[in-house]
Amino acid sequence: MNGVQRPVIIAANWKMNTTPLDASLLANDIAAATEVAGVTRVICPPYVSLESVSRALADTEVEVGVQNVHAEPFGAFTGEISAPMVVMFATWSIVGHSERRRDQGEDDEMIGRKLLRCAESGLRPILCVGEQLEDRQAGRAEDTVRRQLERTLAEVRRVAEIVPDDLVVAYEPVWAIGTGLTARGSDASAMAQLIRHTLSGAGIPGGAAHVPVLYGGSVTSGSIDEFLAEPDIDGALVGGASLKVDEMAGIVARAGLTAAARGSGSRQG
């Protein structure tokens, strides 16, 4: 880590799962099972469960995030949710998740504007980038991720000339999500280095060495060790496994070992 101390972060993305009652109970159970020093814990429930999860976690150190925000603060966008609408309940936001790119057609420029909305509202963004299987097979994986970052940050600078200084990046090898295929720790580490190099070239405030990079490719308690053993990986964005208390307990416990080995503090947010 070249002397730079970054937080170790485990963020849970519950996707379209749980009702408000289910979510509050699950959040309580996960919070109680993951009290590990040095690990920043974030739970991102569905919008309808934000208030119940926020209340359930009020007396814990677990933070709350949203899975997405709109690219505009307000307007005639039926069915959408903006950053100012969620700041009472959340302090984090996932931005540009691969499923949003795939299913809602979000492009890098739109994602750049979402980063700006996060910055304006005080939400810490987890920006997701990653390549499809055909990109990796064709040798375009690095070019794809580099292009995503460059276009996203170019839009941020075009609109506001401000790049969020609390940015977190999640590397999602899309081909390893729910497919049975697996990425290697060395693959993720190489991509984390590329991500920081690209961010440095894009003018991230204070340089990119302080930017946490998470792994987000169907991580479980059984696979997390390989990724957290890499000095350039600072945690995980957890999907399906985040709905299981024992899985989250195992993942955060391993993250705690990483935090202790790196001498990380218990920085939150």
Percent of residues, the chain, with pLDDT higher than 90? 83
Q: Where do the domains of the chain lie, and which CATH numbers do they carry?
A: 8-262 (3.20.20.70)
CB 44 within 8 A of CB 92: yes
**97 in catalytic set:** yes
Among 172, 226, 230, 247, the one annotated catalytic: 172
Q: Tell me how crowded residue 201 is: count the other CB atoms within 10 A of its CB.
A: 13
Q: What is the mean pLDDT of the chain?
A: 93
The Cα–Cα gap between 193 and 215 comes to 12
**Active-site option among 70, 97, 106, 230:** 97
Based on its alpha-carbon atoms, the radius of gyration of the chain, rounded to whole angstroms, reads 17
pTM: 0.95
How many CA atoms are closer than 13 Å to the CA of 162, on its beta-carbon side? 12
Of 265 and 163, more confident: 163
Q: What is the pLDDT of residues 103-146, one digit of tens each?
A: 999 999 999 999 999 999 999 999 999 999 899 999 999 999 99
Asked about 35 being catalytic, the answer comes back as no
Phi-psi region of 246 (alpha: psi -120 to 50; beta: other; left: phi over 0): alpha
